Structure 1
Amino acid sequence: MILSPADHERAAWLLGPWLLGGALGIFLQGILYCQFMRYAIHFKSDGLGIKIGVFVLFLTTTLKTMHSFILVWNIFIDYFADLEGAIALSYTSWWESASSLINATLDLYVQVFFVRRLFLISNRNWYVTAVVAFILAFSYAAMCVAIYYIIEGATAASIVAPWFAAHFSALVCGDIIMTAGITYFLLRTREDVLPHTVGHFTSLIRLTWLSAAPATLCAILNLISSQLWPGTDRLLSALFNTMLPKLYAMSMMWTLNARLELRAMSTGSSDVTSGRMIFDPPFDTSLQVILNALSSPGQFLTNFQHTHNSGRSLPARTSLESGHRVDAHELNDVCSDSAKSDKSGHVHVVDEEKA
Structure 2
Amino acid sequence: MHSYSGTYGALLLGGLFASGFSGFVALQSLLYFKLFPNDGTPLKSLVLIVWAFDLAHTALVWASLWDYMITNIANVSYGEYIPETIALTIVLTAILTFLTQCFFAHRIFHLSRRNWYITAPVVILAVGRLACACVSGAEMIEMQYFENFRAKFRWLFSMGLALSSGADILITALLFILLRKSKADSVSLDDIIDACILYTFEIGSLTSVTTVVSLICWVVLDDSLIFLGLHFLIGKLYANSLLASLNSRQRFRRSRATVTAFDLLSMPHIQPLPAEFQNTHNSRNANCGVQVDVIKSVQYDVETGKE
Unpaired runs of 5+ in structure 2?
A: none
SS across alignment from 1:234: coil
Q: Secondary structure at the match of 1:175?
A: helix
1:65 to 58, 70, 73: 58
- Choose from 5, 25, 31 the match for 1:12: 5
CA gap of 1:71–1:191, structure 2 versus 1, over 3 A, is farther
One of 135, 138, 143 as aligned partner of 2:133: 143
Whether 1:44 and 2:44 are equivalent positions in the alignment is no
| TM-score, structure 1 normalization | 0.71
Q: 84, 106, 109: which one pairs with 1:119?
A: 109
Fraction of identical pairs, as percent: 22
Residue 314 (structure 1) aligned with residue 265 (structure 2): no
Across the aligned residues of Structure 1 and Structure 2, the Cα RMSD in angstroms comes to: 3.7
User: Which structure has the bigger radius of gyration?
Assistant: 1
Cα offsets for 1:74-110 (capped at 9, x unmatched):
211112222222x0333xx333233212211221121
Cα distance in 1 for partners of 2:263, 2:26 equals 21
1:279, 1:352 within 8 Å by CA — same for their partners in 2?
yes
Which AA in structure 2 matches 1:22? G
Q: Does the aligned pair in 1 maintain the 2:105–2:119 contact within 8 Å?
A: yes
Note if 1:245 corresponds to 2:235. Answer: yes
- Cα offsets for 1:256-279 (capped at 9, x unmatched): 1122123334899xxxxxx89971
Cα offset for 1:178?
1.6
> Per-residue deviation at 1:64?
1.2
- 8 Å Cα contact 2:105/2:123 also seen in 1: yes
Compute the displacement of 1:128 (Å): 2.2
What is the SS of the residue equivalent to 1:176? Answer: helix
Distance 1:50 1:197 in 2: 26
1:124 CA drift (Å)? 2.0
Aligned counterpart in structure 2 of residue 213 of structure 1, from 200, 205, 215: 205
SS in 2 for 1:120: helix
Cα pair distance change 1:309/1:316, threshold 3 Å? closer
Contact kept, 8 Å, 1:149 with 1:159, in 2: the verdict is no
- TM-score, normalised to structure 2, is 0.81
- Indicate conservation of the 8 Å contact 1:165/1:227, yes or no: yes
Q: 1:172 to 1:71 in 2, by over 3 A?
A: same
Secondary structure of the structure 2 residue equivalent to 1:212: helix
Matches within 5 A, 1:34-113: 34-85=27-78, 87-90=79-82, 93-113=83-103
- Tell me which residue corresponds to 2:142: 152
Once residues 314 and 71 of structure 1 are traced to their aligned partners in structure 2, the CA distance between those partners, rounded to angstroms, is 62
Counterpart selection for 1:280 from 267, 275, 296 = 267
In the alignment, the residues of structure 1 paired with residue 141 and residue 26 of structure 2 have an alpha-carbon distance, to the nearest angstrom, of 34
Q: Report the residue type matching 2:114 in the other structure.
A: R
2:219 to 213, 227, 232: 227
Provide the secondary structure at the position in 1 that maps to 2:92. helix
Q: CA deviation at 1:25?
A: 0.8
CA distance in 2 between partners of 1:142 and 1:113 (Å): 20
What is the 5 A alignment of 1:260-275? 260-265=250-255
| Partner residue, 1:292 | none
Matched, 1:351 2:301: yes
> Which structure carries more relative contact order (alpha carbon 8 Å, separation 6+)?
2
Q: Is the helix fraction higher in 1 or 2?
A: 2
Distance 1:174 1:184 in 2: 15
The separation in 1 between residues aligned to 2:29 and 2:120, in whole angstroms, is: 30
SS at match of 1:80: coil
How many residue pairs get aligned? The number is: 293
**Contact 1:42 1:260 survives alignment (8 Å):** yes
Deviations 1:304-343 (A, max 9, x none): 9xx9998953118959xxx9x99x8xx6xx73xx61xxxx
**2:165/2:211 contact within 8 Å kept:** yes
Shift of 1:281: 4.7
Task: Return the alpha-carbon distance in structure 2 between the equivalents of residues 309 and 196 of structure 1.
Answer: 20
Distance 2:235 2:16 in 1: 14
The alpha-carbon distance between structure 1 residues 248 and 316, as it changes in their structure 2 partners (threshold 3 A), is: farther
Distance in 2 (CA, whole Å) between partners of 1:139 and 1:351 is 30
Separation of aligned partners in 1, 2:57 and 2:51: 10
Distance of 2:104 and 2:200 partners within structure 1: 14
Is residue 11–residue 83 contact of structure 1 (8 Å, CA) maintained in 2?
no
Residue 123 of structure 2, aligned match among 123, 127, 133: 133
Q: Distance in 2 between matches of 1:317 and 1:178?
A: 41
Give the direction of change, closer, same or farther, for the CA distance of 1:197–1:74 in structure 2 (3 Å limit): same
Equivalent residues in 2 for 1:174-213 (5 A)? Answer: 174-190=167-183, 205-209=198-202, 211-213=203-205
